[in-house]
Each structure stands twice: as structure tokens, then as C-alpha cells.
Amino acid sequence: MKNYKLVISYDGNNFHGFQKQPKDFTVQEALEAALDKLLTSYQLTYAGRTDTGVHAKQQVLSITTSDLLKDSFKESLNALVGKHIYIKKVTLANKNFHPRHDAKQRTYKYFVNTPSNYEAYNLGYSYFVKKELSIVELNLIAKLFIGKNNFTNYSKLRTDQNPLREIALSKWTKNSQYFIYTITGNSFLHNMVRSIVGVQLAAFDGKLEGKSISTSLKIPLEQRFKHVAPSEGLYLWNIKY
């Protein structure tokens, strides 16, 4: 048995998330439909699930198989998997490599458009807000999330999940087209990044106070925040091993 590492990207608009579901078409389903035509048997694992509409610049998978992958495997898989997924790299990995358990850090980026830089073709790939934003003010809010904090109010937690996560980077930048939020952490909870973005934009809009955000990260409030940014602006950007 050999273990292969795959790096892929995909357009989340065309899938109901990454993980296979009984009724909806997902990235995993598209991948497995293609792999079934190329391999006798295999086991597919992945670094993390993304929700419906969330994109990936770098998602990492592993395929454990007794089949010997030919040099043309990447090209063949790309030909079968459909135009909304792209296999960027296929390499032989250590037999014990696990894309989720071995990940040290994950980085997500969230793209926001404002009236001064919005284009219609950005629909589905960024979030349009109807007022102008301030990098300085947003970064005052963003830095509140840095460090080890309790993200109970920022996710849909399962009862067995630890809500503590450590954030190494939380920062807004701006280019000619987008306001871009970058967040790097050891791991993330379900809906956590979108909730963090939504809460920041709500605070910028005066709907939340910075003090309530700081408090919630140490002593969770009774209810999770309802401010969740839409999925189309979110990208799984990088995974560090």
C-alpha cells in the first residue's frame, strides 16, 4: 500500500460542500466518481470540510491504494473530475501521513467588496457590503481574536468538541479590488471563520461593541452570535505541515 498526497483547488459555487452527502453533489463525490474509474481500490482522507459555497485554493487529500499511480495520473484525474475542481499536485507521501491530523496551521481568506470597488463578475466569489469600510477600524477589531480563546459563540459546536482554538494571525488588508481578511490558526470549528467575519462587520457597523467580543472569547455568552458572513467570500487558502 502506498500513500499519495494530493493538493487540489475548487470552485465552491458548484458543490454542496466538500464532504459526501446522501442527496447533494459535493467535492468528495466528484473526486470519488473520478477515482473509481482510475483505481481498483483506495481510501480517501482530507484536511478539512468546507461548507456549501466555500472555495479552496489549497485543499489537501491523501489516497492510500495498492495501485501504482502512473505519471499520467494527475492529468487523467483532472480530465475526469470536472472543470470546477483542479488537481494541482500529486506526490508520494510517508505511509503515516494524514492530511488532517498532521496539519500544523490552516489559513483562510475572506474577500469583501464595497460600492467603490464592486464588479458584477465578483458575484459568488466575494461578499458585497453596501457601505465603505476602514482598514484601521477593522484591524482594531481583528486583533481581539489573536491568541488562545474560547470560540463557543462563533460556531455550531458538537457536544464533544473542545471550543478552544489558537489564532496566530487575524488581519485585514486591502488591494484595488477587495478588502481581504486573513486568519491563521491551528484548527477551526464549523462556521467559525464566517462567524468571526460577520461579527467584525457587525461591530464595524455599530451593531456590536468590542467589549462584548472580548468578553465572549473568555467567558462565552448564553447564545452564539447570529452575525455569520455568507459562504461565497470564504477560501481555504493554505495548510501548513
Closest by CA to 111, choosing from 202, 195, 194, 179, is 179
Q: How far apart are the C-alpha atoms of 105 and 158, rounded to whole Å?
A: 22
Contacts of 191 (CB under 8 A, 6+ apart): 51, 154, 155, 156, 228
Residue 51 designated active-site: yes
Which one of 11, 24, 36, 51 is the catalytic residue? 51
Give exposure, 25-35, as e/b (b: 16+ Cβ within 10 Å): ebbbbbbbebb
CA distances from 173 to 55, 97, 152, 177 (A): 19, 34, 27, 11
DSSP 67: S
Q: Would you name the residues annotated as active-site residues?
A: 51
